[in-house]
Chains A and B, each alone.
Chain A
Amino acid sequence: MMRTLRTASLIAAATALLMGTASAETIKIGVNEPLTGAFAASGTYVVNGAKIAADEINAKGGVLGKQIELVIEDNKSNPTEAAAVAEKLITRDKTPVMMGAWGSSLTLAVMPKLMEYEVPMVVETSSSGKITTTGNPYIFRISPPSAIEAAAFGKIVDKLGLKKVDFLVINNDWGRGAAEDFGKMMKAKGISVGLVETMDQGAQDMSAQLSKLKGSDSETIIVTAAVDQLTLLFKQAAALGLKKQIITTGGSQNPDQIIAQAGAAANGTMHLTTFLPWFPDKTPNPEATTYFVSEWKKRGFDFAGCTESFRGYDGIRTAAAAIEKAGKAEPAAIKAALWDIKLKGLNGDIAFQKSGPAGKESGQSQPNVYLIEIADGKVAMKDL
């Protein structure tokens, strides 16, 4: 079986090489995601979501009468590789628009390449504020930056009765940005901010940080990290007898995976998330959510990945809508068209507003943010 599969894919690859010209019939969209390294699981989910969007669009006749083709490259969870991948997608594959690059540090590394080659990119996951405030007019972000996330949390934070919070964040642009934006919001709300601890992106043992947090006088810890580190954190916090309230940010929690792996240690934790696959009726676009979740399951993917993969789905649909609007698959036209698109995403309307220094603004869409809680091994909306 494996052997036939391999032979088949070899033949397919050889055919693709020989018929290089045939791909002129398709419109390419570059996908720059971490498929190996620390964020391999998350990046793979996003790519699988992207494939669902591409298949759906192609089944409906494609864009501008042509099929779309995803050119998927692995940035290895490494900023240097992410920049190299962007350059490859632009110069070798001639993709007129790209989606990427999952992590904030990865996206930030790609950004100078967008300026250099003048190709727009839909940013599907990254949440560092810097991405849309440094004046890169090729950036169109559909995920919420931490400031939007913090503002959304600010509307409900009073009801949680927080007094003093500590932060434990991943030590990169994403985590440090979140600590800064949430810290500002908390202070404005009269909540004191205590310790700000960090952990490296591949770190597995956070006992030292947690021991320190255990000894502080705060009652709540705000955590920014992706699912794997969150799982470890909850297990280690339980092992250390740390009994503080934990709220996570960043939207890469995959709560079902946390429940499966951290078990009872995850009970009582709260999470700011940007998608509600558990409750399609409560999303802005119930029909699309139901379709996406059922298609995801039909393809045999783990349900836990939905909260990650929907971004790839929305990202590709955004790029495709812009190509359609532009009327031609050229970077400048797509960039202009991205400002005018308006489509129903799985998490609210996708429409870009200007963000950053005048004259070279980036596009930022305003997705919804929800607070969920894990209770008795199940995901529940936090009633406030």
Chain B
Amino acid sequence: MGELFQHLINTLVLGGTYALLGIGLTLIFGIMNVVNFTHGILYTFGAYVMFIVVQKFELNFFVALPLSIASGWALGALVELTLLRPLRGSDIDTTMLVMIGAWIAMQSATLWVWGGVAKSVPTPFPDAPLEIGPVSVSWLRLFVLVAAGALIVLTYILINRTRLGSAMRATFQDQDTAALMGVNVNLIYTSTFALGSSLAAAAGALLGPVYVVYPAMGDLAAVKAFAIVILGGLGNITGAVIGGFILALAEELGAGYISSGYRDAMGFLIIIAVLIFRPTGLFPRAERVG
């Protein structure tokens, strides 16, 4: 019984960050229709910014976090302005190839600048875990869960309750009409991509200290983000959140009770099943933004 509770608490913590990765990508992949291969590298980038700010500049952990998210926003905006804007209107394959190129170039750049040796980010949380009966969880992971939850809620409000959010939704529903209504379409494209990217960076900044930071850390994260987006339905923020938790649950219980060798396969088995039985994702209609 203790083991099951431990698996469930692990699920909660892992699911929170999966959800964060998922909503970032669902904005870009689901709404903007850009197959964003740089999502994983922005996750990595967020973690490295965290490392540099905390370790090199010796700033407070809680100051580093918003800095890291802001850097993710800036890098995302840069990618949109330099790579995607000139390609607006070209077919999805061209954009995809460019994004693959950007991913490889950016990953090699992190390797070039920081080397391959994994880095560890110091945190202000105590080493000893919080123990409640048979269940034990580190303070850092609890903080990650809370922070991820807060970011998810903020994003939801931003998309659904603000002028910027309605402009985003309008733009990706009908770009021409939105433009005629006075929406600055270019600005919306850039800020949507930047928002998605900053969420990826936030996930990296939160998880970097939990794990270790190295150039290829985003690869698996990106694959999982795609899985979550497909699971939750393209462009569906609530779907991405639920998808994140479902993936985490499948991985935890799969590894705990079936076979740990297939841990990372569990999520994909679910996706195959979803694509066969519900090709538009588990939640294709509810709260659809796009």
Contact = CB atoms under 8 A, between A and B. Distances in A.
Interface of A: 35-38, 40-41, 43-44, 77, 171, 197-200, 202-205, 207-209, 211-212, 214-215, 227-228, 231-232, 238-241, 257, 260-265, 302, 304-305
Report which residue of B117, B140, B207, B259 has the largest number of chain A beta carbons within 10 angstroms of its beta carbon.
Answer: B117
B212 A232 contact: yes
Nearest to B13: A207
Contacts of A205: 14, 211
Nearest to A305: B117
A77 B215 CA distance: 13
B211 A41 contact: no
Interface in B241-282: 251-252, 254-256, 259-261, 263-264
Interface string B75-100: 00000000000000000000000000
Contacts of A171: 260-261
Contacts of A44: 115-117
Contacts of B3: 211-212, 214-215
Q: Which of B116, B141, B264 has the most CB of A within 10 A?
A: B116
A36 B116 contact: yes
A357 to B, nearest CB: 29
In this complex, the interface size class of chain B, counting residues with CB under 8 Å from chain A, is 35 or more
B129 A41 contact: no
A239 B138 contact: yes
A211 B207 CA distance: 19
A95 to B, nearest CB: 24
B183 to A, nearest CB: 40
A199 B263 contact: yes
A37 B138 contact: no
Contacts of A228: 118, 212, 214
5 contacts: A38-B216, A200-B220, A204-B211, A208-B254, A264-B127
Contacts of A211: 3, 6-7, 10, 256
Contact of A257 (B10, B115, B117): B117
B190 interface: no
Contact of B215 (A36, A200, A204): A36
B115 A41 contact: yes
B120 interface: yes
Contact of A200 (B111, B252, B263): B263
Interface of B: 2-3, 6-7, 10, 13-14, 107-108, 111, 115-120, 127, 129, 131, 136-138, 140-141, 207, 211-212, 214-217, 219-220, 251-252, 254-256, 259-261, 263-264
List of 6 A-B pairs having minimum Cβ-Cβ separation, nearest first: A40-B116, A239-B138, A208-B255, A241-B136, A261-B120, A41-B116
Given A40-B111, A202-B220, A239-B137, A208 B118 contact: no
B6 A239 contact: no
A227 B117 CA distance: 10
Contact of A302 (B108, B117, B215, B216): B117
Contacts of B261: 171, 198
B251 A208 contact: yes
Contacts, number: 118
Contacts of A208: 7, 10, 251-252, 254-256, 260, 263
The main secondary structure of chain A at its interface with chain B is helix
Nearest to B17: A205
B212 A209 contact: no
Contact of A202 (B2, B120, B129, B219): B219
Contacts of B118: 41, 227-228, 231, 257, 261
A199 B264 CA distance: 9
A305 B211 CA distance: 20
Question: Which among A40, A43, A211, A257 has the greatest number of chain B C-beta atoms within 10 A?
Answer: A211
B22 to A, nearest CB: 16
B238 to A, nearest CB: 24
A378 to B, nearest CB: 18
Nearest to A260: B120
Contact of A232 (B137, B211, B252): B211
B127 A238 contact: yes
Contact of B260 (A36, A212, A263): A212
A264 B256 CA distance: 27
Contacts of A38: 216
B10 A241 contact: no
A36 B10 CA distance: 30
A199 B260 contact: yes
B117 A241 contact: no
A6 to B, nearest CB: 11
A265 B260 contact: no
Contacts of A260: 120
Nearest to B3: A215
